[in-house]
Amino acid sequence: MNKKLSFLMAIVFMTSAATFSFVNKANAQEKIQLENFFQNPEKTAYQISPDGKYYSFLAPYEDRLNVFIQKIGKTKAVRLTKETDRDITAYFWANNKRILFLKDTGGDENFQLYGVDVNGKNLKCLTCFDKVRTQIIDDLRDHPNEIIIGLNKRNPQVFDPYRLNIKTGEMEMIAENPGNIQGWMTDHAGQLRIAYAIVDGVNTQILYRETEQDEFKAVLTTSFKESVGLQFFTFDNKNVYATSNLGRDKTAAVIFDIANGKEIEVLYENPDYDVSRLSYSRKNKKLWSAYYTSWKSERKYFDKEFKGLLKRLEKELGDYEIGISDYSKNEDKFIIRTHSDKSLGSYYLYDKTKDILTKIHDVCPWIKEEDMASMKPVKYTARDGMEINGYLTLPKGVDPKNLPVVINPHGGPWYRDSWGFNPEIQFLANRGYAVLQMNFRGSTGYGKKFWEASFKEWGLDMQNDITDGVYWLIQQGIANPDKIAIYGGSYGGYAVLQGLVVTPTLYAAGVDYVGVSNMFSFLKTIPPYWKPLLDMMYEMVGNPETDSIQFVATSPALNADKIIAPLFVAQGANDPRVNIDESDQIVNALKKRGVAVEYMVKDNEGHGFHNEENRFDFYRAMEKFLDKHLKK
């Protein structure tokens, strides 16, 4: 599990525009049913029991994803849960006889932990506290009846760690959060030995203790702009494998002397991209690989056996991205997942002892790769010289000239778009739209300098990066300048609104999905557990008092008089991150001026629509809206 602080959450054009193959428009592909893109997968999220005898998965029951298990080698599966209000968010094997899962209510993100036996009996809620969010700190694989969780039960703003007996439901607080700790970490024995704290508002601190009987002591204090992402202890439980950007721009894989708070060895660093995480063998106590993302996911191997395993799988599975989803305790059976830009992929069971790879199931068998569009990496230069990487998806069967386009900035904003199957992108391409996604400044994975270039640039240089991508697409001759829309969710929704404000004639329409509209009210309505991070948010986003003039200029709801393009807004009523008031403000401001605005609110959703029927409603409405304004 990556232990970075929660606030850090979120290529050369490989085929130039001139070399895209030209196809007669008569060969343009037929429209695929909307539901095919957005319905729940047939089977997904496969995991394997610790003893390697069963695998589990999520599959629909009454249109909601529920947990099923199946004995390996058999064809019949048994459903363990019967949730009908909302999909199960996540689940895992606690031991060979019991599975734990998380779910929230109506998208409020106050996740509660439940347990159920593998025969479907003894269903029990373990953390059903009102307005309390459950975090998983350590699943304690070597302690079959215990896990360590975090709860903000005592104080809504902070999480205390508890050791929970999943059999009896008894729990014991094993440390009290003094109010500034944002994360906790255990060693390989399941002992809580590391904490991450905020000090002085904008500095981060790593605290360490030798045993659970000792007091935590600070070992390293840095600006939040520098990060040591502690991944897991070395196998003697003395030092820690970590990702670190201390004294460097790109995050590297290192060994960290936790007792003395310093790096002692650099294992791998990439000159162009951040290392994001590390993986290892629990059984053999070996470091497997480091991971980073260029335009695709890539690995740096440390273990020859692990490298041989992946190369053996690649040889049989072909040109897909291949990942290990789960493996048995003895590491003799592995769940393998494939995917690509044109496929949600398949799951396989690899029996290492027998060297047999067996296909389990396609995630969405109704998705046909030959009908999907290619997602190509692109690169352009922003007006201030910043290099921006992104992806361009062109509709199949049409000349890449003068096309209607949807610009799709990602959310976060400290996140990034990656190569892979995206149902929204494929849906839009199937409807005849070219889609441009860009990793504007602040997007993660490109180093510290690129990330910091986004600070206090909401609606300013970050927005310019998006605008410059539109101009680049027009210059390439791909985009019809009169038929360009912008669509995004969360921060991407904010970028939609700000784009309509600062470049009112550039876009023919906009679709804002759970987006921020007012910088002042946004920072007042963040979830309580974000409040300890508020000083950092002020440095990264801006302070509503000292940056009030900027906030007035970069709050779309306060500049709605500049919007002339039609707008479609979608919002979950229970959204804890972007309060519904954000959408209400922009909608009401536009309605007062008589600007065309459509508004969809779902009362049983939060930050994004998770229920299948709501997704169908949203994308049907969006398709109709875009067709109306881009295909006149």
Domain boundaries, the chain: 129-219, 226-302, 368-523+568-630
CA 562 vs. chain centroid, Å, equals 33
The residues that are catalytic are 490, 575, 607
Kindly list the distances between the CA atom of residue 120 and the CA atoms of 79, 81, 167, 240, in Å, as whole numbers in the listed order.
7, 7, 15, 39
Q: What is the spatial distance between Cα 262 and Cα 210, in angstroms, rounded to a whole number?
A: 16
Q: Are 115 and 126 in contact (CB under 8 A)?
A: yes
Q: Which of 358, 331, 333, 332 is nearest to 346 (CA)?
A: 358
Q: What is the spatial distance between Cα 476 and Cα 470, in angstroms, rounded to a whole number?
A: 10
Token digits of residue 391:
């992806």
- Helices then strands, counting H and E runs in the chain, come out as 11, 35
What φ, ψ does residue 346 adopt, rounded to 5°?
A: -140, 160
Q: Which of 197, 225, 152 is nearest to 536 (CA)?
A: 225
Looking at the DSSP bridge assignments, the partners of residue 333 are 351
Q: What is the spatial distance between Cα 445 and Cα 4, in angstroms, rounded to a whole number?
A: 14
Reply yes or no: is the peptide bond before residue 178 cis, omega within 30 of 0. Answer: no
Q: What is the spatial distance between Cα 19 and Cα 28, in angstroms, rounded to a whole number?
A: 19
Q: What is the spatial distance between Cα 324 and Cα 546, in angstroms, rounded to a whole number?
A: 48
Q: Are 519 and 541 in contact (CB under 8 A)?
A: yes
pLDDT per residue over 464-503, tens digit each?
999 999 999 999 999 999 999 999 999 999 999 999 999 9
Contacts of 587 (CB under 8 A, 6+ apart): 569, 597, 599
Residues of the chain with pLDDT under 50: 1-27
Q: Are 232 and 239 in contact (CB under 8 A)?
A: no
Contacts of 370 (CB under 8 A, 6+ apart): none
Q: Which of 403, 620, 386, 630 is nearest to 508 (CA)?
A: 630
Question: Domain 368-523+568-630 is classified in which CATH homologous superfamily?
Answer: Alpha/Beta hydrolase fold, catalytic domain (3.40.50.1820)
Looking at the DSSP bridge assignments, the partners of residue 147 are 164
Q: What is the spatial distance between Cα 14 and Cα 121, in angstroms, rounded to a whole number?
A: 53
Q: Are 409 and 486 in contact (CB under 8 A)?
A: yes
446 class by beta-carbon count within 10 Å (0-12 exposed, 13-18 middle, 19+ buried): buried
Q: Do the strands 286-293 and 275-281 form a parallel or antiparallel pair, or are they unpaired?
A: antiparallel
Q: Which of 490, 339, 342, 489 is nearest to 406 (CA)?
A: 489
pLDDT per residue over 3-54, tens digit each?
333 333 332 223 333 223 333 343 457 899 999 999 999 999 999 999 999 9
- Strand (E) or helix (H) holding 134: strand 134-138
What's the pLDDT at 28? 58
Q: Are 424 and 44 in contact (CB under 8 A)?
A: no
Q: How far apart are the first and last CA of the chain?
A: 49
Question: Which amino acid makes up residue 510?
Answer: G
Cα–Cα–Cα angle for 564, 566, 572, nearest 5°?
125
Q: What is the DSSP string of 336-388?
A: EEEEBTTB--EEEEEETTTTEEEEEEESSTT--GGGSPPEEEEEEE-TTS-EE
Q: What is the spatial distance between Cα 565 and Cα 484, in angstroms, rounded to a whole number?
A: 11
Contacts of 602 (CB under 8 A, 6+ apart): 570, 571, 572, 573, 609, 611, 614, 617
Q: Are 342 and 421 in contact (CB under 8 A)?
A: yes
What's the pLDDT at 594? 86
Q: Are 264 and 228 in contact (CB under 8 A)?
A: no
Question: Which amino acid makes up residue 411?
Answer: G
Write down the H helix ranges in 431-481: 448-452, 461-475
Q: What is the spatial distance between Cα 186 and Cα 178, in angstroms, rounded to a whole number?
A: 18
pTM attached to this predicted model: 0.93
